[in-house]
């Protein structure tokens, strides 16, 4: 790799780490708090598949539209949902979610690890809160409701099971019907509003997605993602960090989904109706409130409106989010090179089905990338060798025309043309690889697949740094070997600059996730082998 290019990569790496700060996303319009309160709706979709094999403990029959709901608040019984993937808890007050724990993901590695509580009831307003506004009067579902079951336990192979809450307030009957699956982090929510009054109801329907950042402290300090609201508007994703929401923020347009997102996990709600065309973001005591709003909803007397949502509460697994549909995989922020990063991550997931070791998968992917770019890299090495041959002539020109820059440039161009040498031939083939390097960098940095994933021996977490700094030090040594093998440019200043590059990269990679270091180390070893092969071939005139 040409020395100038190594410097370029080092600088662009630093820019990559800081580009979110250098190029912040455009700010949406701000709205006043009073306006924001009348612009948010919480809803979710439910399928109509009946429960079958699941263990379901029934409760008393749900209320009829004309009944009054009586719930003993002192002896309130929570409803629990248990599947192989998660443990969820709901409250009869509004049929809201109190807790959602991920069974297969722990806060720390080892026997002391506890299931990550992705959603937790730390604030009065719980997730999936529904509100209907009519003539400036808010009617919320924050009322005692009756449930059709007390517990649901799903096992692998079971059919989906449903949990339905029903309650009445101010002549409006609210129902929430959740559908759960044994093998998915998905759930469906159908929010039903029945007008039992004698007047037409006109207003906005709001489903509020509310949660606080998790207390998980990841080991790697690189790529830590602040808690944010991610909104699919049309085909692009708008992101707003919680800490930057000082006043209510409104996003309008075709809403595909709304997500409360952190580095490895996401809480996502996708409305099934195009009526939801607005999202209001609020910061409530460091809790993120995303109010998904359907405007101009009309419910005639005796009529019923159904609002459906699809939910995803779980890890940012690329395969799961692609299966969810609705471009949900865009909830994983791969940065500028996402179109390249996603196929690379799909390759890792494919090979992992056979290797069951993401460290090996990273090595296989590095080899594949090296094979694909072999012709370009070979051309680059050959160009550098050609440049080295004319170094003595270039040095003479520099001395002869040291006081005439314009003439020096003319003579240099004549020299390149005479010897059929392209001065950019060493750089251009390598520059084409930069997007792939950065895409893989982002893919490995932000992939939950690598979280707590072991490799071999002392590396037991590919998302954390090498605890003994062995791989980054070896990587620095391979860079030094590459430097020794690279033809000299004859420029003393450049030579001095190159002496510090292996040191700079070594210190830069000391705290990088070990999965990233393994990629760079293997890439360096393969590059050394290719350069040795190319140099021998050129030395024998082939």
Round to whole Å and give the CA distance between 232 and 238: 6
Angle between helices 434-445 and 358-372 (to 10 degrees): 170
Same domain, 324 and 346: no
The answer to whether residue 24 sits within a structural domain is no
Tell which residue, 340, 346, 316, has the closest CA to residue 329.
Answer: 316
Residues 36 and 174 reside in one and the same domain: yes
Least confident of 69-78, 185-194, 414-423, 472-481: 69-78
Q: Please indicate, yes or no, whether residues 283 and 390 belong to a single structural domain of this protein.
A: no
Instruction: Give the CATH number for residue 158.
Output: 2.70.98.90
Rounded distance between C-alpha atoms, residue 291 and residue 289, angstroms: 6
- 11 and 91 together in one domain: no
Reading the block at residue 274, the tokens are 């195009």
**CB proximity list for 353: less than 8 A, separation 6 or greater:** none
User: How many independent structural domains does the chain possess?
Assistant: 2
Res 70: pLDDT: 42
Residue 381: pLDDT band (50, 70, 90) is low
Tell me what pLDDT residue 404 has: 72
Computed over every residue of the chain, the mean pLDDT equals 78
Tell whether 290 and 394 lie within a shared domain: no
Asked if residue 22 has pLDDT above 50, the reply is no
What span, in angstroms and rounded, lies between the C-alpha atoms of 118 and 261? 10
Task: Kindly state the tokens that stand for 527.
Answer: 């590059």
Q: Apex CA 261: angle with CA 257 and CA 264, to 5°?
A: 125
Q: Does 55 reside within a domain?
A: yes
Residues of the chain above pLDDT 70, percent: 73
**Is 26 part of any domain?**
no
d(Cα 191, Cα 43) in Å, to the nearest integer?
6
318 and 346 share one domain = no
* Rounded-to-integer distance, Cα 542 and Cα 538, Å: 5
| CA distance linking residue 466 with residue 472, whole number of Å | 8
Please give the Cα distance from 523 to 478 (Å, whole number): 10
Sign of CA dihedral 311, 316, 320, 324: positive
Name the pLDDT band for 189 (thresholds 50, 70, 90): very high
- Pairing between β-strand 172-180 and β-strand 186-195 as defined by DSSP bridges: antiparallel
Q: What span, in angstroms and rounded, lies between the C-alpha atoms of 316 and 259?
A: 11
7 and 54, same domain (yes or no): no
In a domain, 21, yes or no: no
Q: How far is Cα of residue 243 from the mean position of the Cα atoms in its chain?
A: 18
Using the 8-state DSSP alphabet, how is residue 501 labeled?
H
Among 333, 367, 385, the domain-final residue is 333
Q: Is there a contact between 61 and 149 (Cβ–Cβ < 8 Å)?
A: no
471 located within any domain: yes
Same-domain check for residues 72 and 115: yes
> Are 143 and 172 a contacting pair, CB within 8 Å?
no
| The predicted structure's pLDDT at residue 419 | 66
- Tens of pLDDT, residues 55-84: 655 554 433 333 333 444 455 688 999 999
Split at pLDDT 50, 70, 90, the class of 140 is confident
Q: Which domain holds residue 265?
A: 31-333
Global pTM? 0.77
Are 376 and 477 in the same domain?
A: yes
Residue ending a domain, choose from 317, 333, 349: 333
Query: Do residues 211 and 268 lie in contact, with contact meaning Cβ atoms separated by under 8 Å?
Result: no
Which of 35-49, 376-390, 395-409 comes out lowest in average pLDDT?
A: 35-49
Cα dihedral 145/146/148/152 (nearest 10):
70
Confidence of residue 511 (pLDDT cuts 50, 70, 90): confident
User: Which has the minimum average pLDDT: 11-20, 106-115, 239-248?
Assistant: 11-20
Two tokens, residue 258: 């709304």
How far is residue 219's CA from residue 53's CA, in Å, rounded to a whole number?
Answer: 41
pLDDT tens sequence across 441-476: 888 888 888 888 889 889 988 888 888 889 989 988
Do 135 and 10 lie in one domain? The reply is no
Residue 403 confidence (pLDDT) above 70: yes
**Is 90 exceeded by the pLDDT of residue 416?**
no
Query: Which of residues 289, 307, 333 is at a domain's end?
Result: 333
Query: Has residue 20 been placed in a domain?
Result: no
Q: Do the domain assignments include residue 57? A: yes
Nearest-CA neighbor of 320 among 251, 264, 398?
Answer: 264
pLDDT given for residue 217 in this prediction: 66
The pLDDT tens digits of the residues spanning 282-323 come to 998 888 899 998 887 888 888 898 999 999 999 999 999 999
Contact 184, 268 (CB under 8 A): no
In a domain, 25, yes or no: no
Domain identity same for 467 and 421: yes
Residues 247 and 389 in one domain: no
Confidence (pLDDT) at 9: 54
pLDDT tens profile 223-277: 556 789 999 998 889 999 988 988 888 999 889 999 999 889 999 999 998 888 8
Lowest average pLDDT, out of 234-248, 386-400, 418-432, goes to 418-432
Cβ contact 231:308 at 8 Å: no
């Amino acid at each position: 790799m040409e020395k100038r290019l190594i410097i370029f990569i080092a600088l662009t790496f630093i820019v990559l780490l800081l580009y979110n700060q250098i190029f912040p996303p455009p700010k949406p319009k701000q709205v006043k708090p009073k306006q924001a309160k009348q612009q948010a709706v919480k809803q979710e979709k439910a399928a109509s598949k009946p429960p079958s094999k699941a263990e379901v403990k029934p409760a008393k029959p749900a209320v009829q539209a004309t009944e009054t709901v009586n719930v003993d608040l002192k002896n309130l019984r929570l409803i629990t949902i248990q599947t192989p993937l998660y443990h969820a808890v709901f409250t009869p007050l509004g049929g809201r979610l109190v807790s959602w724990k991920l069974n297969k993901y722990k806060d720390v590695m080892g026997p002391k690890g506890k299931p990550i509580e992705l959603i937790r009831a730390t604030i009065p307003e719980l997730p999936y809160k529904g509100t209907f506004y009519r003539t400036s009067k808010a009617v919320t579902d924050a009322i005692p409701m009756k449930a059709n079951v007390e517990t649901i336990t799903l096992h692998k192979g079971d059919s989906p099971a449903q949990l339905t809450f029903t309650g009445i307030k101010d002549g409006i009957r609210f129902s929430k019907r959740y559908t759960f699956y044994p093998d998915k982090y998905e759930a469906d929510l159908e929010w039903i509003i029945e007008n039992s009054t004698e007047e037409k109801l006109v207003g906005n329907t709001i489903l509020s997605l509310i949660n606080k950042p998790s207390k998980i402290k990841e080991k790697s300090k690189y790529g830590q993602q602040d808690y944010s609201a991610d909104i699919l508007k049309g085909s692009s994703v708008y992101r707003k960090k919680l800490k930057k929401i000082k006043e209510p923020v409104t996003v309008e347009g075709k809403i595909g989904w709304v997500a409360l997102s952190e580095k490895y996990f996401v809480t996502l709600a996708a409305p099934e109706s195009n009526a939801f065309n607005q999202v209001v973001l609020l910061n409530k005591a460091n809790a993120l409130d995303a109010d998904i709003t359907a405007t101009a909803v009309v419910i005639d007397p005796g009529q019923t409106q159904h609002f459906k949502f699809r939910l995803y509460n779980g890890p940012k697994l690329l395969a799961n989010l692609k299966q969810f549909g609705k471009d949900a995989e865009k909830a994983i922020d791969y940065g500028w090179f996402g179109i390249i990063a996603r196929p690379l991550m799909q390759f890792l997931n494919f090979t992992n089905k056979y290797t069951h070791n993401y460290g090996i998968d990273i090595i296989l992917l590095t080899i594949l990338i090296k094979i694909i770019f072999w012709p370009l890299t070979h051309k680059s090495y050959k160009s550098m060798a050609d440049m080295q041959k004319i170094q003595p002539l270039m040095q003479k020109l520099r001395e002869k025309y040291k006081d005439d820059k314009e003439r020096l440039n003319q003579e240099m161009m004549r020299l390149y043309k005479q010897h059929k040498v392209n001065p950019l031939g060493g750089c251009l083939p390598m520059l084409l690889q930069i997007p792939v390097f950065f895409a893989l960098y982002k893919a490995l940095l932000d992939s939950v697949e690598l979280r707590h994933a072991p490799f071999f021996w002392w590396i037991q977490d590919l998302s954390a740094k090498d605890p003994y700094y062995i791989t980054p030090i070896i990587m620095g040594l391979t860079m030094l070997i590459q430097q020794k093998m690279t033809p000299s440019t004859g420029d003393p200043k450049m030579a001095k600059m190159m002496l510090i590059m292996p040191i700079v990269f070594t210190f830069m990679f000391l705290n990088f996730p070990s999965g990233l270091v393994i990629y760079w180390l293997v890439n360096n070893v393969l590059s050394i082998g290719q350069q040795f092969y190319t140099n021998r071939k050129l030395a024998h005139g082939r």
